[in-house]
Chain A
Amino acid sequence: MSINEDEEILYAEEVYTRASWKKTLLTLFLFIMVLTLGVLATTIGASSLGISESLHALLAELIPGEEVSHFAQVVVLQLRLPRILMAIITGMSLGVAGAVMQGVLRNPLVSPFTLGLSSGAACGAAIAIVLGVGILGTGQYIIMINAFLFSLLTMAVVYGIARIRGTSIETLILAGVAMGYLFSAVISLLQYASGNEQLREIVFWLMGGLYATKSESVIILIPIVLFITILLMRYSWDLNAMSAGEEVASSLGINVSQVRMICLFLSTVLTASVIAFTGIIGFIGLVSPHLCRLMIGSDHRYLIPWSGLTGALLLLVSDTIGRTMISPTEIPVGVVTSFIGVPFFLYLLVRRKRRWWQ
C-alpha cells in the first residue's frame, strides 16, 4: 500500500494517536505518583520525626553541607528508606510478573501463586528453617537461596510436565496448581514436625512482609528487577499477538513456544528473587494486571510498566499503613494489601461492565 505524504489524517489514526499520548502521559503520572508517595512514606513512622526533619535527612544525602541529627539519619536512611524501596521493587516485580504470566498463558487467573511458585518458595524456605539445610549448603542465606531455587525448580517441573503433552496452556496451569498443593502438604508436614521457634518462623515467612529488609537486599534486587523488567517489556508485541491465539501469533512470525518459555522463565526469576527476601506476598501479582487492564487496556507495551507501577503503589501504601496504623505493632502487609486492594478491585469490576474472561 502506498502512502502519500500530503494525505489527510484519517479518523482512526487520530483516535489511536490521541489514545497513545494519553496512555504515555498517564504512565508518567503514575511513575511520579510512586516517587512522591515513596518520599512521603519516609516521613511517617513509629519514631516521632517531623516531616521537615525526615525530608532534610533525605536531602542531606543528596546535597552535601546539609546538617541533620544522627538519629534522623539512621531512622530515615537505614530503617525507612530500604523498606520503602523494597516495597516498591517487590510490588513492581509481582505486578510485572503477573501481567506477563497472564499474558503468556492467556488466562486471567494466573499468578505466581496459582502456578505454584509461591508455594514452592515457601516449601524451600520451610525446609531450610526446619532442617537447617539448603540446596547450596548451609549459612546465613540458606533460607533465601532455598526459597529462590525451589521457585525455579517448581517452574521447571511444571513446564516440563506441560512439555510432555506439547506445551498446552491448560496442562501447564493445572500442573502448577497441583504442584502448589503438593508443596502446601510438605509445608504442613514440616510445620507439624517443627518446634516452637521454627514454627513461628515458618508462619512469618508464609505471611510475608518487609520488616526484615536490609539495605544490601535492596542493592542486590534493584538491578535484577530493572533488568528483567526491561527484557520482558521487549516482548510486549509478542505477548499482544499471542493473546489472539497461538495460530495467529505463529502466522505473525512469532516462535510461540520459545517466547512462552523465555517469558515464563524471566517472570519466574523476577518473582523468585523478591519473594526469597520477603516471603509470600499474594494478591498483587494476580490483581495488579487486572486493575491496569480495567484502566488502560491490554496492550502490553503499557500494561507491563503500569502493572509494575500499580503493584509498587499498592504494596507501598499497604506497607506504610501496616507499619504505622497501630505502631509500634505492625499489621502484616498481606492483610493490608487485601483489605485495600480487594474492595477497590471489586468496585472496578462492578462499575466497568467489561467481561473479558468469558
Chain B
Amino acid sequence: MKLSVKELSFGYGSTSTLEDITMEVDEGKIVSLVGPNGAGKSTLIKCIDRILKPRKGTVFLDGKQAAMLTSKDFSKMMGYVPQSTHEVFPYTVFDVVLMGRRPHIGWRVNANDVKIVAKTLKFLGIEDFASRYFDELSGGEKQKIAMARAIVQEPEFLLLDEPTSNLDIRHQLEVMNIVKKLVLQRRISAVMAMHDLNLASRFSDIVVMLKDRGIYTMGDPVSVLTPENIEKVYGVKSEVKNGHMDRPYIMPLEPI
C-alpha cells in the first residue's frame, strides 16, 4: 500500500507547526523523518495517524482519502508506537499487547487473537514476559512491547515516534532490526521520527529532513545526510564518512 501526504499543514491556535508537507511512502520502505527539536517530526507522525487533525491537506492511502475511513478501518492499517508508554494501572504484558487487537475484536477475544499475540511475543523474543507486569520492565523491553501492540494490529504502516531515543545501544539495534524484519517479511512500510542520524542513515530507504515546519530535503541517505544539509538544518559542523554497508556515518563536530 502506498501512502501520500499532500500539502498538509498543522497548527495549534494561531501558531503553525507544519506547513505544506508533501511526501510519499512506497510499499516496503523505511522512511525516517529527521530534523532538530520542534521541526515537526512527531507532529507529522501524529497527523498521518489521525491523532491530530491537520488544519489543511490530505493523507491518501492508495489514492483514497484516509480521512474518509472509519476509525476502526483506519486503525487496521496504521500501527502507532509512541515515544514512551506509561500504564497508570497494573497490566500484564500480554494484556497490553492484546489491546492492539482492539480494531479486530468485539467484546470477546477468540483463540486466533490470543494466538497472534503469543506469536508476536515469540517473534520479538519476549515470550517469557507474558505474565509480568508492564511497569516492572525496562525502557527497552517496554519499547518492544509497544511495538508488539502495534504489530498485532496487523497494519500496513508502522508509525514510530522516536523509537530509539531512550534506549541503550543494544536495544536500539534490536528495535531497528525488528522494524527492518517486519518491512521485509510482511511488505509493510515504516515511518519513523528519528533523532539519531546514524541509525536513520543505516536503516532507512528514504530520509526526510524537516526544518522550520517544512521539508528541507528528502531522498536516499547518501544524498540527504551531507555536511552541507546538516549544517543548514541543525546548525552543526560535521564530518560524514563512509560507514557500515556504505551508508553515511555522521560525526557531529561543533555547533556553529
Residues of chain A whose beta carbon lies under 8 Å from any beta carbon of chain B: 1, 3, 7, 10-13, 15-17, 19, 102-103, 106-108, 234, 236-238, 240-241, 243-248, 250-255, 293, 297-299, 301, 354, 356-358
Contacts and interface: CB of A to CB of B under 8 A. Distances in A.
B2 interface: no
B94 interface: yes
B51 A15 contact: no
B241 interface: no
Closest 10 CB pairs of A and B: A253-B75, A251-B80, A12-B130, A13-B118, A298-B89, A10-B118, A12-B118, A253-B72, A252-B102, A253-B71
B90 interface: yes
A243 B89 contact: yes
Q: Which of A108, A236, A241 has the most CB of B within 10 A?
A: A241
Contact of B91 (A238, A255, A297): A297
Contact of B105 (A11, A237, A248, A356): A237
Contacts of B95: 240, 297-299
B206 interface: no
Contacts of A299: 91, 95
Contacts of A358: 135
A245 B89 CA distance: 11
B165 interface: no
B147 interface: no
Nearest to A17: B114
Given A10-B118, A15-B94, 13 more contacts: A1-B120, A3-B116, A12-B117, A12-B118, A16-B117, A106-B89, A234-B107, A240-B99, A243-B88, A250-B71, A252-B100, A356-B90, A356-B135
Contacts of B31: none
Given A253-B102, A299-B95, A16 B130 contact: yes
B179 interface: no
Contacts of A240: 91, 95, 99, 102
A254 B118 contact: no
Nearest to A236: B107
Given A10-B122, A244-B99, A354 B78 contact: no
B35 to A, nearest CB: 20
A357 B74 CA distance: 32
Interface in B147-192: 149-150, 153-154, 159
B115 A247 contact: no
Interface in B63-89: 70-76, 78-80, 82, 85-89
A10 B119 contact: yes
A344 B98 CA distance: 32
A248 B80 CA distance: 7
- The majority secondary structure among interface residues of chain B is helix
Contact of B130 (A11, A247, A250, A354): A11
Contact of B46 (A13, A237, A247, A354): A247
A254 B226 CA distance: 42
Interface of B: 46, 49-51, 70-76, 78-80, 82, 85-92, 94-96, 98-100, 102-103, 105, 107, 112, 114-122, 127-128, 130-131, 133, 135, 146, 149-150, 153-154, 159
A152 B118 CA distance: 44
B74 A253 contact: yes
A244 B90 contact: no
Contacts of B117: 12-13, 16
13 contacts: A1-B120, A11-B122, A11-B128, A13-B114, A16-B117, A106-B89, A108-B89, A238-B102, A243-B87, A251-B51, A297-B90, A354-B90, A356-B87
A31 to B, nearest CB: 19
A17 to B, nearest CB: 7
Contacts of A356: 87-90, 135
Contact of A248 (B73, B85, B116, B120): B85
Nearest to A20: B109
Given A11-B118, A250-B51, A253-B102, A244 B87 contact: yes
A349 to B, nearest CB: 13
A1 B116 contact: yes
A13 B86 CA distance: 24
A89 B159 CA distance: 45
A243 B51 contact: no
Contacts of B90: 293, 297-298, 354, 356
A108 B89 CA distance: 8
B91 A13 contact: no
A238 B118 CA distance: 21
Contacts of B135: 356, 358
B127 A12 contact: yes
Contact of B122 (A12, A107, A108, A354): A12
A241 B88 CA distance: 12
Of A3, A13, A354, which is in contact with the most chain B CB atoms at under 10 Å from its CB? Answer: A13
Contact of A253 (B103, B116, B146): B103
A298 B91 contact: yes
B97 to A, nearest CB: 9
